[in-house]
Amino acid sequence: MAIKWTSDLSVGVEKIDSQHIVWFEKASNLFEAGKQGKSKEVIAEMFDFLEEYTQQHFRDEEQYMAQIKYPDIEKQKTAHKNFVEELTKLKKEFEESGGKISVIINANKMIINWLTNHIIKMDKQIGVYVKSL
């Protein structure tokens, strides 16, 4: 279920795009670690990194949207908050399951689906707005 970032997912804002690329790589690494039977500790570290990186990316993105006075910033903040809650829930499920691969597969699907849909439906609008300035 690994997926790579492609240019059609470009928002048109370099900092956001570069962070999205890293995000896709890290989500893919999490899935690959699960497939390869890496230890629970290694996968837990990946979850921790992904969770931390996600929060940093959202802070950066929200700060940028505030700076450019993006009109849909509150919708973005709500979507970001919901994603962080889902990621936290998946991490907890992984820990409680004893490190089952099915949880990692579900985490990967959720992350990739959310990322792709969020970028296409919401983040790309930031780029459209920036071009209109």
Q: What local confidence, expressed as pLDDT, does residue 67 receive?
A: 96
Q: What local confidence, expressed as pLDDT, does residue 1 receive?
A: 53
pLDDT (tens, 9 = 90+) of the chain, 133 residues, equals 556 788 889 999 999 999 999 888 887 887 787 778 777 777 788 788 888 888 999 999 999 999 999 999 999 999 999 999 988 888 888 888 877 777 777 777 888 888 888 999 999 999 999 999 8
Phi, psi at residue 6, to the nearest 5°? Answer: -125, 160
Q: What local confidence, expressed as pLDDT, does residue 2 receive?
A: 59
User: 7-132 in CATH: which number?
Assistant: 1.20.120.50
Contact yes or no for 107/90 (Cβ under 8 A): yes
Q: What local confidence, expressed as pLDDT, does residue 65 receive?
A: 97
Read off the pTM: 0.84
- Which of these, 72, 89, 84, 88, lies nearest to 114 by C-alpha position? 84
Work out whether the CA dihedral 94, 98, 99, 105 comes out positive or negative. negative
Q: Per-domain residue ranges for the chain?
A: 7-132
Count Cα atoms within 13 angstroms, Cβ side, for 79: 17
Burial category of 66 from C-beta neighbours within 10 Å (exposed 0-12, middle 13-18, buried 19 and up): exposed
